[in-house]
Amino acid sequence: MSVKFILFDAFGTLLRIPQGRHPYRMILKEGIRQGRRPQPNDLRQVMTRSLSLEEAAELFGIIIRPDLMAEIQGALDADLSSIEPFDDGLFHAVFATTLLVQSLTHRSLDSSITEAHG
Protein backbone atom coordinates (compact mmCIF):
# COMPACT_ATOMS: atom_id res chain seq x y z
CA MET A 1 0.00 0.00 0.00
CA SER A 2 1.50 3.31 -1.03
CA VAL A 3 1.00 6.40 1.10
CA LYS A 4 -0.70 9.23 -0.79
CA PHE A 5 -0.67 11.83 1.96
CA ILE A 6 -0.42 12.37 5.71
CA LEU A 7 -3.01 14.42 7.54
CA PHE A 8 -2.12 16.16 10.79
CA ASP A 9 -4.18 18.14 13.26
CA ALA A 10 -1.56 20.86 13.14
CA PHE A 11 -2.17 23.02 16.19
CA GLY A 12 -1.03 21.47 19.44
CA THR A 13 0.84 18.66 17.71
CA LEU A 14 3.11 20.15 15.04
CA LEU A 15 2.58 23.88 15.25
CA ARG A 16 2.19 26.25 18.15
CA ILE A 17 1.42 29.87 18.89
CA PRO A 18 3.86 30.71 21.71
CA GLN A 19 1.83 33.49 23.32
CA GLY A 20 -1.68 33.04 21.97
CA ARG A 21 -3.87 36.08 22.30
CA HIS A 22 -7.10 34.17 21.47
CA PRO A 23 -8.90 36.76 19.31
CA TYR A 24 -12.12 34.75 18.93
CA ARG A 25 -12.22 34.28 22.70
CA MET A 26 -11.86 38.06 23.00
CA ILE A 27 -15.07 38.39 20.96
CA LEU A 28 -16.89 35.91 23.21
CA LYS A 29 -15.68 37.75 26.33
CA GLU A 30 -17.06 41.00 24.91
CA GLY A 31 -20.34 39.16 24.42
CA ILE A 32 -20.32 38.18 28.10
CA ARG A 33 -19.68 41.81 28.98
CA GLN A 34 -22.74 42.70 26.89
CA GLY A 35 -24.86 40.12 28.72
CA ARG A 36 -24.62 37.20 26.28
CA ARG A 37 -24.40 33.85 28.02
CA PRO A 38 -21.79 31.46 26.60
CA GLN A 39 -23.28 28.43 24.85
CA PRO A 40 -21.82 24.90 24.87
CA ASN A 41 -21.39 24.94 21.08
CA ASP A 42 -19.71 28.38 20.79
CA LEU A 43 -16.27 26.87 20.21
CA ARG A 44 -17.62 24.44 17.62
CA GLN A 45 -19.34 27.33 15.82
CA VAL A 46 -16.03 29.17 15.53
CA MET A 47 -13.85 26.15 14.72
CA THR A 48 -16.06 24.60 12.03
CA ARG A 49 -16.75 27.71 9.98
CA SER A 50 -14.55 29.99 7.98
CA LEU A 51 -15.50 33.22 9.73
CA SER A 52 -13.83 36.58 9.82
CA LEU A 53 -13.76 38.32 13.18
CA GLU A 54 -16.66 40.52 12.11
CA GLU A 55 -18.66 37.49 10.95
CA ALA A 56 -18.04 35.67 14.23
CA ALA A 57 -19.26 38.67 16.22
CA GLU A 58 -22.35 38.89 14.02
CA LEU A 59 -23.04 35.16 14.35
CA PHE A 60 -23.16 35.52 18.13
CA GLY A 61 -25.03 38.83 18.07
CA ILE A 62 -22.12 40.68 19.64
CA ILE A 63 -21.54 44.34 18.80
CA ILE A 64 -17.85 45.22 18.68
CA ARG A 65 -16.74 48.86 18.76
CA PRO A 66 -14.37 49.74 15.89
CA ASP A 67 -11.45 50.43 18.27
CA LEU A 68 -11.94 47.06 20.00
CA MET A 69 -12.25 45.27 16.63
CA ALA A 70 -8.94 46.86 15.60
CA GLU A 71 -7.37 45.53 18.82
CA ILE A 72 -8.81 42.04 18.21
CA GLN A 73 -7.61 42.11 14.58
CA GLY A 74 -4.14 43.05 15.85
CA ALA A 75 -4.24 40.06 18.20
CA LEU A 76 -5.20 37.76 15.30
CA ASP A 77 -2.45 39.18 13.10
CA ALA A 78 0.09 38.71 15.91
CA ASP A 79 -1.04 35.11 16.49
CA LEU A 80 -0.79 34.28 12.80
CA SER A 81 2.66 35.82 12.45
CA SER A 82 3.98 33.94 15.49
CA ILE A 83 3.02 30.39 14.40
CA GLU A 84 6.06 28.13 14.63
CA PRO A 85 6.79 24.41 14.57
CA PHE A 86 7.47 22.52 17.77
CA ASP A 87 11.18 21.85 18.02
CA ASP A 88 10.90 18.09 18.39
CA GLY A 89 12.23 17.08 15.01
CA LEU A 90 9.05 15.40 13.77
CA PHE A 91 7.99 18.41 11.75
CA HIS A 92 11.37 18.61 10.01
CA ALA A 93 11.55 14.85 9.48
CA VAL A 94 8.19 14.75 7.72
CA PHE A 95 9.18 17.46 5.28
CA ALA A 96 12.49 15.72 4.61
CA THR A 97 10.61 12.81 3.02
CA THR A 98 9.00 12.78 -0.39
CA LEU A 99 5.49 12.35 1.02
CA LEU A 100 2.82 14.92 0.40
CA VAL A 101 1.91 16.44 3.75
CA GLN A 102 -1.26 18.38 4.07
CA SER A 103 -1.81 20.26 7.29
CA LEU A 104 -5.38 21.29 8.01
CA THR A 105 -7.03 23.20 10.81
CA HIS A 106 -10.17 21.88 12.47
CA ARG A 107 -12.20 24.32 10.42
CA SER A 108 -11.01 23.18 6.99
CA LEU A 109 -11.04 19.50 7.96
CA ASP A 110 -14.63 19.70 9.13
CA SER A 111 -15.74 21.55 6.00
CA SER A 112 -13.94 18.99 3.82
CA ILE A 113 -15.76 16.15 5.57
CA THR A 114 -19.09 18.00 5.27
CA GLU A 115 -18.57 18.60 1.55
CA ALA A 116 -17.55 14.98 0.96
CA HIS A 117 -20.58 13.59 2.75
CA GLY A 118 -22.91 16.50 1.85
What pTM was computed for the model? 0.66
* Residue 16 region by backbone torsions, left for phi larger than 0, else alpha for psi between -120 and 50, else beta: beta
The answer to whether residues 1 and 46 belong to one domain is no
pLDDT digits (tens, 9 = 90+) for 61-108: 999 999 999 999 999 999 989 888 777 656 555 655 434 444 444 444
The answer to whether residues 24 and 77 belong to one domain is yes
The answer to whether residues 77 and 26 belong to one domain is yes
pLDDT digits (tens, 9 = 90+) for 12-22: 667 788 899 99
Phi, psi (rounded to 5 degrees) for 116:
-70, -30
User: Strand, helix or coil at 84?
Assistant: strand
Domain with 99 in it? 1-17+84-118
